[in-house]
Structure 1
Amino acid sequence: MISPTSPEFSSQDNQTIDHIELPSEVRLAALACLTKADARSKAAAVQALRQAYLAQQLSLNLSVQLLAPTDIPGRPLRPELVPPLGVKRRAMNTVEGRATLIHALAHIEFNAINLALDAVWRFPDMPEAYYSDWLQVAQEEAYHFSLLADHLVTLGYEYGDFPAHNSLWELAERTQDDVLSRMALVPRTMEARGLDATPALRAKIAQAGDQAAAEILDIILRDEIGHVAIGNRWFAYLCEQRQLEPIACFAQLAARFRAPTLRAPFNVEARLAAGFTPQELNAMNIS
């Protein structure tokens, strides 16, 4: 078993990209990024990781058994993590109210960075395209986080200034032993809910006069369709490999892992664009 700080990986096995030192193996580098606690540093490291991968500066060694540190994901001391009902909502007609919403979205994107990195390092024996896909997702989630965190500063606040909840990562922990369960319930359930929720949030923010934030949400929705499509692609691949019927398999996993109940309104157009079939949406009672 090898960890990001293992003596089995010496300094000569690292690559320095734009002054960010990363291990030279893809999954180990993803795990190293995942352990970073500072949100801005994590986002920058993820950008460097994807650039190094695209430049073919990293190797992919699926025979390496990685040891999970006890402190993953790395996260800053703030924001304070509270139960979902402990995250207060404020009116959009105040700067603080808008900042609260932007902060909540930034926290979702921060967790999404961690989820994508976890998908890279945790699950061996997938095709190389799988790791390439999730590195792309990680980079785009880091970009989304940076956009939202920067916009929060223009409102007079910083990421960490408001409480946040951790339910997204909790589902990731419950699905850590099987890549099929992870693909079914994180991108296809939790991230797909973002496709449903974003249009209403964008309208609310635009109505409050924050056009810059509305444009950020346009970028996020565009990219998230691609992220959900990646989840759909690998869920379908794994179902085929294991000779499972996808609709029945998804229903069984949703029940087994107590996935959140889906509630209207639904963004059917975005879900179809992300690769859900009409038959799947009908089985989920989505119309």
Structure 2
Amino acid sequence: MAIQLEDFAKQVLFGTSMEEKLSFPREEILDTKRSDPIKTPKQLSRPKHLVLREEGVKAGHPAQSKLIDERERGRLLHFFGNHELLATELMALAILKFPEAPASFRRGLLETLKDEQMHTQLYMHRMKQCGVEFGELPLSDYFWRSVSSMEDPLDYVTRLSLTFEQANLDYSREYGKIFASVGDRSTAGILDKIYRDEIDHVGFGLKWFRRWKAEGKTDWEAFRERLVFPLSPARAKGNFFNREGRSEAGLDASFIKDLEVFSQSRGRTPYVYWFNPDAERFAARNSSEGVDAGTFPVQKDLALLPAFVAKRDDILLLPRMPTSAFLGELKAAGLELPELKTYESEEEVSAPSLDRKLRGLRPWAWSPDSVLFFEENFSKLTRSKKPDTFWNEGIRALHSKAWAAAWAKSLLDHIPHEEWLAPTSAFAKLAENAQGLQRICEGFRSAGCSSLALKAPFGTAANGMRRLEADELIDERLTRWCEQTFEEQGGVLVEPWLDRVFDFSIQLEMGKGGLRALGYTRLLNNARGQFRGIVTNGFCQGLDSELVKFLMQRVQGRPRLYHWYESFVLPELEKELAAAGYEGPLGIDAFVYRSYDGRLMLKPVVEINLRYTMGRIALELGQRNAATSVGFFEVVSKAQIKKRTGQSLSEFCERQTAAYPVKLSEEKKPRIEEGTLALNDPQQAQGFLALYHVRRSFKELAL
């Protein structure tokens, strides 16, 4: 006597007892009767004590100490058992939904279903031995919701075989080792059996996936395209990535590498990041039009930098995808990355319309170009906002160095005077035309300031500053720059060139709850005041005692520097930001200088940058340092490296990283003890390379 495959699948799917769900026929199973495809049932038939719930118990990563307790083991096995039962039911559903699928595919489904029945029984028996009855804890329906909406057999193998069963190549092996380590050989043996079966199941799905996927697509491309949010490749892996098992299942090396470095939110609503370093130029013109792509190589080369601020559940939009090999190096160094997505056209740069709710939009800086870039995604925000929330005349005014200088002078006029603070004469003055520029320069020089700095109100140190040496006249070249700046930005700032001995920045975040200080970073600039790099975890290391005392003298239990900013500067700045409606990152650049009479003085505000800064990147990178290690973050150009070494960027990077390979600490979450790491792909870099050097002591940085 024989039984039809279709009838057996109905017994499993619609059965209301565990006997119906888990008994496998002794009779021959035929596949000669094929009815019309069924629709996915609205509610899964199960015994009452095994009903699924959206708020069902989820398993966290178990502490080894907890699993010494038998009942804790049983709770974990309860979670696993539900997954195996769901896999059994989903395979029965696939048999009934896709009657026209090839006979060999349906026969393979039957064999994997039989394995899943056995896995469920093994877990049920073992959890009972641990004192836990199947069904005594709430059961999550996430697995069912994610797979049961499948529309064709390709959906089935993509979602179940290549996503959830592939993830089990990691989980079954990891937990097997954990159970073995606490002496539970019985459970470890069950997990080893399941691990071996999952290799076969993934291999089965992969065979059919390759047969049915879109022609001309790689396995990875087809896999990514076929998954529908909230499913993503991130769901196809566990806590500890198992390359060996995937290779045994037949996945090729490139797929395995791409999956290993892939990241996407598993539930938390993401922030979306984008690197737009030309923001000040768009801010200057108050328009997204009419600015050439003068720094586009910077934007293209360094587009990955916001990844080191973002969290794993966030999204970073890139003009091009770094190679998997490079992303693997970052991962091996312990740097977790957000989900990386590319935007297509270089001519019309705009964010893709993202298919989910978004917690927030995070460009490098808000300016007209970033408002235009994110135009299609404002409606996706969980807290609805209009574009003028991010960019308006009030926020534009705060971008100006002229505003920062005037605000800093006003601040010093209204707070208690300290002899170690710079006088207001040390701050910039705004010249609105050539005559005013000449008059201000003469005034500073008559007061004893021999060298001067000329700055554009909107602009970075690299493209917005000129130095005028003692008695140097404004030549034809500088005159042209000034005339252009007058025309485009309405003025030129002039300030004394001071004898700087220590540059630093304060990294801040303005939110609904107010302005927060995140940390203080030590900047290294060249002789012309242009950015060289940033020291991490070594704010005062290598400084002479006089300077350390100046910075760190205790006031009300806090270093004087921190106390003064957080007591006087930040509360007043918070008011200005709130009045303009600004929320997001910002940084204050400042420095200590030596006055004409030899005293150390603080110029508390040089610039206020309403954006992410390289200091913020360095601050985040410093958290990846081992406790006693010191780091140095720098950006080098192709021209600098060519002049210094005669090498290309990739050659220079290869020699640096070979000379100083990354070594991680032996912590549960390893951090970098020493080594040099590229932060953007050296094989793709055309003009700029970001490097992070970590050493065990400040002296070893050789700055």
TM-score, normalized by length of structure 1?
0.79
Q: How far does residue 84 in structure 1 lie from its aligned partner after superposition?
A: 6.4
CA distance in 1, matches of 2:221, 2:108: 25
CA RMSD across the alignment: 2.5
1:58 corresponds in structure 2 to 30
Q: How far does residue 196 in structure 1 lie from its aligned partner after superposition?
A: 0.9
- Residues 206 and 250 from structure 1, CA distance in 2 versus in 1: closer, same or farther, beyond 3 angstroms? same
CA distance in 1, matches of 2:17, 2:116: 15
Residue of 71, 74, 85 corresponding to 2:45: 74
Give me the identity figure in percent: 22
Q: Supply the AA of the counterpart residue of 1:250.
A: F
2:107 corresponds in structure 1 to 132
- Residues 69 and 267 from structure 1, CA distance in 2 versus in 1: closer, same or farther, beyond 3 angstroms? closer
| 1:16-31 aligned within 5 A | 24-31=3-10
Q: Does 1:233 align with 2:212?
A: no
CA distance in 2, matches of 1:167, 1:215: 27
| 1:173-212 aligned within 5 A | 173-175=148-150, 177-212=151-186
Q: How far does residue 86 in structure 1 lie from its aligned partner after superposition?
A: 4.2
Q: Does the CA contact (< 8 Å) of 1:39 and 1:110 recur in 2?
A: no
Q: How far does residue 210 in structure 1 lie from its aligned partner after superposition?
A: 1.7
2:188 corresponds in structure 1 to 214
2:11 corresponds in structure 1 to 32
- Is the partner of 1:29 in helix, strand or coil? helix
Q: How far does residue 93 in structure 1 lie from its aligned partner after superposition?
A: 2.1
Q: Does 1:106 align with 2:81?
A: yes
CA distance in 1, matches of 2:211, 2:167: 22
CA distance in 1, matches of 2:171, 2:38: 36
Residue of 37, 41, 50 corresponding to 2:20: 41
- Is the partner of 2:227 in helix, strand or coil? helix
Q: Supply the AA of the counterpart residue of 1:36.
A: G
Instruction: Look at both structures and tell me which one has the larger radius of gyration over its CA atoms.
Output: 2
Q: How far does residue 58 in structure 1 lie from its aligned partner after superposition?
A: 2.1
Q: Supply the AA of the counterpart residue of 1:215.
A: G
Q: Does the CA contact (< 8 Å) of 1:183 and 1:232 recur in 2?
A: yes
CA distance in 2, matches of 1:103, 1:228: 23
CA distance in 2, matches of 1:217, 1:269: 16
CA distance in 1, matches of 2:72, 2:172: 17
1:143 corresponds in structure 2 to 118
TM-score, normalized by length of structure 2?
0.34
Q: Does the CA contact (< 8 Å) of 1:82 and 1:165 recur in 2?
A: yes
Q: How far does residue 251 in structure 1 lie from its aligned partner after superposition?
A: 1.1
Q: Does 1:170 align with 2:149?
A: no
CA distance in 1, matches of 2:153, 2:59: 34
1:269 corresponds in structure 2 to 244
2:58 corresponds in structure 1 to 87
- Residues 238 and 28 from structure 1, CA distance in 2 versus in 1: closer, same or farther, beyond 3 angstroms? farther
Q: Does the CA contact (< 8 Å) of 1:92 and 1:98 recur in 2?
A: yes
More helix by share: 1
Q: How far does residue 83 in structure 1 lie from its aligned partner after superposition?
A: 4.4
1:248 corresponds in structure 2 to 221
Q: How far does residue 232 in structure 1 lie from its aligned partner after superposition?
A: 0.6
Q: Supply the AA of the counterpart residue of 1:58.
A: L
- Residues 140 and 61 from structure 1, CA distance in 2 versus in 1: closer, same or farther, beyond 3 angstroms? same
Q: How far does residue 209 in structure 1 lie from its aligned partner after superposition?
A: 2.2
Q: Which runs of 5+ in 1 are unaligned?
A: 1-14, 18-23
Residue of 195, 198, 202 corresponding to 1:224: 198
Higher relative contact order (CA 8 A, sep 6+): 1
CA distance in 1, matches of 2:227, 2:39: 26
- Is the partner of 1:261 in helix, strand or coil? helix
CA distance in 2, matches of 1:106, 1:87: 12
Structure 1 runs, 4 residues or longer, greater than 3 Å off: 66-73, 79-90, 255-258
CA distance in 1, matches of 2:209, 2:201: 12
Q: How far does residue 124 in structure 1 lie from its aligned partner after superposition?
A: 2.5
Q: Supply the AA of the counterpart residue of 1:32.
A: Q
- Is the partner of 1:92 in helix, strand or coil? helix
Q: How far does residue 169 in structure 1 lie from its aligned partner after superposition?
A: 1.0
- Is the partner of 1:284 in helix, strand or coil? helix
CA distance in 1, matches of 2:59, 2:101: 41
Q: How far does residue 282 in structure 1 lie from its aligned partner after superposition?
A: 2.6
CA distance in 2, matches of 1:66, 1:178: 11
Q: Which moved more, 1:274-283 or 1:194-203?
A: 274-283
CA distance in 2, matches of 1:197, 1:222: 12
1:12 corresponds in structure 2 to none
- Residues 85 and 165 from structure 1, CA distance in 2 versus in 1: closer, same or farther, beyond 3 angstroms? closer
Q: Does the CA contact (< 8 Å) of 1:28 and 1:121 recur in 2?
A: no
- Residues 166 and 142 from structure 1, CA distance in 2 versus in 1: closer, same or farther, beyond 3 angstroms? same
CA distance in 1, matches of 2:233, 2:145: 12
- Is the partner of 2:48 in helix, strand or coil? coil
CA distance in 1, matches of 2:216, 2:103: 22
CA distance in 2, matches of 1:167, 1:69: 15
Q: Which runs of 5+ in 2 are unaligned?
A: 262-327, 329-703
Q: How far does residue 25 in structure 1 lie from its aligned partner after superposition?
A: 2.8
